[in-house]
Amino acid sequence: MEIIIGIMGLALPLLGGLVWLIMKLGRLEGRLDTLEGGGHTRRAEQEFALKLESMLREAQERLTQVLNPQAIIHDIEASRQQTIQQIEQQLDTVQLSDVNTLLQELTTVKQQVLATITQANSSATQLRELEEKVSQSLEAFNVKVIETINRADAHRLSVEQEFKQSLTTQLAYFDKKRQIILTEISRVQEKALQELRQEITKLKQSTQQSSDPVTELANTLPEISFETAFIDSNKKIRRETRKVRQLVENLGNGITLEMIYIPGGTFMMGSNDSDYEKPIHSVTIKPFFAGKYPVTQAQWEVMMGDNPSNFKGATRPVETVNWNDVMKFCAKLSQMTGKSYRLLSEAQWEYACRAGTTTKYCFGDIITPDLANYDGSGIKQTTPVGKYPANAFGLYDVHGNVWEWCEDSWHENYVGVPTDGSAWVSGSSDAHLRRGGSWGNNDSYLRCANRNRFDTTDGNNNRGFRLSRM
């Protein structure tokens, strides 16, 4: 009787420990639900089963002396085989929701084993060792569960870090795009403001010019249509039709002189391409009339009675005339008509040539043989006036064909130049300005801002002129 009471005294704590084990495993079930699949739970159950088998074998070996070895082994083996078969059948289909059921079955098996051991009058020491092994197995199980959870947390943190990094990269990209858009908006706004200022300036000039005698005369003249052109960086030419007012002077013998109305305005004269063209400065021009073409051989001959040109042709520009010859022509024409005809001042010439543009040439930043007669054209002589497109003011041959004399004396730069568009005649009279380039020059000489000098008495087959009338 005392033996039975002692065994029960040992069995009760052991039973309490097993109950605690079941509750512990039940609480872990909730956390196991968050793990990937059911793989970790199955492996834990297998490890527990193997450890249990090991403990049972050790218990059998110790109890061999006091038990019936054959009967106990037979009972334990039968229970173990039954449990293993049940677990193997459920390994491929077991779900986390079945954990409690499997644990209950394992508990039943354990209770049967303990009952068998109790009936066999096992010693207290052996039962304590068995309980200790069960506790160790549970601790190992807990460690593996915690390790699995930690790995899952680490993976989650890694994914979060990658997402944050990707989000930061995207935000930087969008911010860069935003800056580009803002810059473009600012550029468009600035361009719009600049165009608005130009329109306001034109309106003011139009108001100021309304009482100008040149403008009043122009308003009585008929409008004519002409074609101008503009070229882009790909050498694509865009042509436009515009209108301008034209004054026609009768020179006699059926020869006329066409003069185009040039509205007044303010522009930036010069460039940084050459020291001769510096500094760039603002000039205000009053309205005037400018020759539609360079003076032709027919016009020269009807006024002067001769034709000094090398490349003959009535509609070709007169050439091989020096500055003094041209001044005689202007004086004779003014006397005949009673009007003030003279050469363009250098400022008037550049203003008329640009025709409101700011590019290197009045057509754009490049020029081709389709737009002017220069050495790139391969013609090697003058051509009839008006062969190429006019600029936006309706003036022809402002680039190439023949150099055009200006009224100004030569100065090395623009330091001290008048800013009202008048001719700069102070200084030496031995040399005067020429503008526009000729049939024999490369394109750099044809630029709107290019300026060069000729000796006053020097005439050549690439020198001509254009008239102005105030």
- DSSP assigned state of 292: S
- Examine the pLDDT at 30 and tell me if it is beyond 50: no
Of 106-110, 251-255, 451-455, where does mean pLDDT reach its minimum?
106-110
Rounded to whole angstroms, the Cα distance separating 371 from 437 reads 13
Could you report the per-residue pLDDT of 85-94, keeping only the tens digit for each?
Answer: 665 565 444 4
- Examine the pLDDT at 391 and tell me if it is beyond 80: yes
Could you report the per-residue pLDDT of 206-260, keeping only the tens digit for each?
Answer: 555 456 899 999 999 999 999 999 999 999 999 999 999 999 999 999 999 999 9
Between 188 and 305, whose confidence is greater?
Answer: 305
Per-residue confidence at 28, pLDDT binned at 50, 70, 90?
A: very low
Q: Which CATH number describes the domain made up of 213-469?
A: 3.90.1580.10
Q: What is the CA radius of gyration of the chain?
A: 54
Per-residue confidence at 114, pLDDT binned at 50, 70, 90?
A: low
Domain ranges, ordered by start, for the chain: 2-156, 167-209, 213-469
H or E element, residue 231: strand 223-231
Phi, psi of 259 (to 5 degrees): -120, 135
Dihedral sign (CA 163, 164, 168, 169): negative
Per-residue confidence at 197, pLDDT binned at 50, 70, 90?
A: confident
What's the distance, Cα to Cα, between the start and end of the chain in Å? 146
What pLDDT was estimated at residue 10?
41
Query: 181-185, 456-460, 461-465 — which one is most confidently predicted on average?
Result: 461-465
Rounded to whole angstroms, the Cα distance separating 187 from 211 reads 38
Q: Is 299 helix (H, G, I), strand (E, B) or coil?
A: helix
Strand pairing report for 463-465 and 403-409: parallel
- Examine the pLDDT at 1 and tell me if it is beyond 70: no
